[in-house]
Amino acid sequence: MARPYRLSLILLALTTAASAAITAVSPLLLKVIVDDGIVPGRMSVVVAVAATIAGLALVDAGCVYLQVRFSSQVGEGLVHDLRTRAFEHVQQQPLAFFLRTRTGSLVSRLSTDVVGAREAVTSLLSQAIAATMTLVLVLVVMFYLSWQLSLAALIMTSAIQTECDASRVMKERCT
């Protein structure tokens, strides 16, 4: 079923990855502005890197536009294909099927299931790719900038998450 949408799915993944990369590279550009521009007093570096950041913001906006476009193409095509296949299947059913099945529940079921499938393929896929890519790239940038500070942040995050999980378990036991 996903074969006709392979190109759109690949382009969706690529634009999502590009957007995640732009998000991850922004702190490195800010580091260049501070370390190579502001501290030594080189305004040309500040202006050039600021222009680069502005250009990347425009590229990121284009990536977001393309993400919406590609996910819509896949989602709407998938909805069309699923509804067509479901309709063809319903037409093949014997008359007894229609006598024992309520038409309203059948139509409602088809509508909600197809829309749920569209949401799963488009929104959730895009969000999963974006979250994973952003996490990995931000961790790489963090460790590049300061592995000691990054390690401390990860340890603290793990400790806070463990404490939150423990308090949630205790709360559930009390109720």
CA distance 164 to 168: 6
Higher pLDDT, residue 120 or 58: 58
Six token digits for residue 125:
């896929």
Which DSSP symbol is given to 1? -
- pLDDT confidence of 99, banded at 50, 70, 90? confident
- What average pLDDT score do residues 85-114 get? 80
Contacts of residue 119, Cβ cutoff 8 Å, sequence gap at least 6: 75
- What average pLDDT score do residues 95-105 get? 79
pLDDT at 2: 61
Six token digits for residue 172:
């559930």
Smallest CA-to-CA distance from 49 within 34, 59, 64 is with 34
Higher pLDDT, residue 32 or 173: 32
Which DSSP symbol is given to 41? T
Q: Which domains, ranges and CATH numbers included, belong to the chain? A: 3-146 (1.20.1560.10)
pLDDT at 105: 77
CA distance 80 to 89: 14
Q: Is residue 81 over pLDDT 90?
A: no
Six token digits for residue 109:
């079921």
Q: Is residue 173 over pLDDT 80?
A: no
- pLDDT confidence of 175, banded at 50, 70, 90? low
Q: Is residue 62 over pLDDT 60?
A: yes
- pLDDT confidence of 55, banded at 50, 70, 90? very high
